[in-house]
Structure 1
Amino acid sequence: MSTQVATSVPDDIAAPRCDPEADLAGRRRIIGIALMCGAVAFFASLDACGKTLARAGVDPLVTTFMRYAASVAMISLFINPVRTPGVVKSRRLPLQIARSLLLFASTALNFLALRYLQLAETISIQFAAPLTVALLAGPLLGEWSSRARLAAIGVGFLGVLVIVRPGVGGMHPAALLCVANVVVYAFYAIITRKLAAYDSTATTMFYTGLAGLALMAPLLPWIWTSPASLTHWALLFGVALFGTLGHWLLVMAHARAPANVLAPFIYTQLLWSVTLGFLLFGDVPSRWTVAGAMIVVGSGLYLLAQETIRREARPAA
């Protein structure tokens, strides 16, 4: 009887037509999301390697240098004056240099903070970077936020205060390094957006790590601390490898799915950080870290939702 009912359903209902383009776009989005989750897993692994090295006494500047030496070497294989003529020419060279130095400083601050703080603490505070970018975009880019967005930004910063707890006995001074990192990274992101109007993506990628390496190379003999074991060398290699693979997957993810689809999955890095922190260091996030992280992530997701609504409304307007 059930077979008879099934065969009596009209063909256009029983076997709906598939839209190949929509189906392909859906599969590409799923792949993009998977790549994004993989990218942030690599970034969390990078932080875990950096924390292990910092606790072992390896200078964070050495770790940062190795991180970007590998990155520059990898990028140069694909983006160089031979394969990409004119890539060295920048219409805003001072901004390119400033951007490179800011990214280098951001990474060094992160590794230094990781010596003292849990992985979950550092990444939770760093999630305030998009909020800071949204706040600075008004005076620096002319992209002013509405009152609702400003309120969400304010709530997000309250979440950071919950994690850091200034004036409370549980605050570690290294948390201020994370706060400084948020500000430094926000200016890096602002400059990146400014450069998009003047230089190609290839040119910006080419300069990403160069200025930091050029600054550090003369200082390296004075700050170099040779890793004490093969394990430490392997961890330095891991920092370089995980960073390079993470950015590679990030680029691949954005080639397959829109940024507004991928952005929420950036926050899965918190799950990886908590897991690695517990397995490798025995760290269990405090209730303050958990509560603050939820506030910061919630504010970030709200801003993302508002931006998505605003972009979708533009064609209709």
Structure 2
Amino acid sequence: MTAAHPFRAILLFNVGLMLFACMDTTNKYLAASFDVPMIAACRYGGHLLLMLAFFGPRRAREMVHTERTGLVWLRAICLCGSTMFVVLAFKRMPVAETSAIVFLTPILVALAAGPLLGETIGWRGWAGALLGFIGVVLIVRPGSGLDAVGVLYAMGCAVASATYNLLSRLLASTERTIALLFYTALVGTILFGGALPWYWADRVPTAFEALLLASLAVYGGLGHFLFTAAFREAPASVLSPISYLQLLWVSLLGWLVFDHIPDPVSLLGMAIIGASGVLVALKSRRGPVEEVA
């Protein structure tokens, strides 16, 4: 595949990364006042409503038709698990450090894709995995001040996200993208919406909080749309290494919103994780970028 408009693709991709960073920061802000099901139900419910409004009238059959329904639902459940773990991590840890640990996802995918999908790992994959491990050790080292339970939640998110992406690769040959997006929104709405009666906050959200809750669906939906548009303009080998700029965005937003700046050793660990991800991305110049948001 030849890149038609690589600079346009990079611009679209970076805006999408910024939107996902905004979603992470908003999740962190809301997690201080609301339980996970409340936040997640607004995200997935809003995403579902947007899909029904924009695609329902013309592409309803494409949205609901699947070939391997069980795996499609399992993939959606994994994304719900990823959302649950990351918001729980945000309750206990800064957004930048949490996001850095979650960015182990592409490395886990690369390692698991060998035995599960028959893909070749290669020296770049193993080197990236080793670098990623070193980066995480630097971030969660003794004396870093990070909450141990929060670290476990962030790692749980990485594992759930890796499973989600492995299933995405497995289903890519038989399922339409619009159907995969629809069922993630539907399953998330059912699971988190069904839990709301037990977790509904005692108070009604303020107008500002309601706006933030509604923005989650916009950030996620528009971010995925921009990602799709970017991959129409340039190959994955061009865009995959750039995905680690999201760590820069979340660090900047963490500073602006929460006045948190990672210490120098944690910044070094984040840079090492980013470098490991670039190695993994270059391992296979035809593979799709993994979703970690």
Give the alignment's TM-score, normalised by structure 2. Answer: 0.90
Partner of 1:258 in structure 2? Answer: 235
| Amino acid of the structure 2 residue aligned with 1:117 | M
Q: Return the match for 1:267 from 224, 232, 244.
A: 244
Of the structure 1 ranges 176-185 and 71-80, higher mean CA displacement relative to structure 2 is found in 71-80
1:179-198 to 2 correspondence within 5 Å?
179-198=155-174
Shift of the alpha carbon at 1:81?
A: 7.8
Q: Structure 1 residue 238 and structure 2 residue 238: aligned?
A: no
> What residue number does 2:154 align with?
178
1:74 positional shift: 1.4
Unaligned runs of 5+ in 2: 288-293
Query: CA-atom RMSD, angstroms?
Result: 2.0
Paired residue secondary structure (2:284): helix
List structure 1 runs of 4+ shifted beyond 6 angstroms: none
Deviation of the 1:269 alpha carbon: 1.2
Deviates more, 1:211-220 or 1:233-242: 211-220
1:193 is aligned with what amino acid? Answer: R
* Aligned partner (choices 35, 38, 53) of residue 62 of structure 1: 38
Deviations, residues 57-103 of structure 1 (Å, cap 9, x unaligned): 21122111111111111122344485253542322111111111111
Structure 2 CA distance for partners of 1:201 and 1:169, relative to 1, 3 Å: closer
1:280-295 alignment, distance < 5 Å: 280-295=257-272
Q: Quote the Cα distance in structure 1 between the aligned partners of 2:188 and 2:9.
A: 30
By how many angstroms is 1:290 displaced?
Answer: 0.6
Q: Which residue of 2 aligns with 1:88?
A: 64
Runs (5+) with no aligned partner, structure 1? 1-21, 312-317
> CA contact under 8 A between 1:110 and 1:178: conserved in structure 2?
yes
**Equivalence for 1:199:** 175
Partners of 2:144 and 2:71 lie apart in 1 by 40
Contact 1:88/1:206 (<8 A) preserved = yes
**Cα shift readout 1:96-139 (whole Å, capped 9, x = no counterpart):** 11111111111121112112211211111111110000011012
Q: Secondary structure at the match of 1:99?
A: helix
The 1-side partners of 2:198 and 2:58 are apart by: 34
| CA–CA separation in structure 2 for the residues paired with 1:305 and 1:175 | 28
Count of aligned pairs: 284
Secondary structure at the aligned position of 2:147 is classed as: coil
**Equivalent position amino acid for 1:233 in 2:** A
Kindly state the Cα deviation for residue 224 of structure 1 after the two structures are TM-superposed.
Answer: 1.4
Larger Rg: 1 or 2? 1
Question: Which of the residues 53, 57, 68 maps onto 1:77?
Answer: 53
Render the CA deviation track for 1:176-207: whole Å, top value 9, x for unaligned.
11111000000000001111122222222221
| TM-score, length of structure 1 as denominator length | 0.83
Instruction: Quote the Cα distance in structure 2 between the aligned partners of 1:32 and 1:140.
Output: 31
Pair 1:149 & 2:125 matched:
yes
Residue 102 of structure 1 aligns with an amino acid whose one-letter code is: C
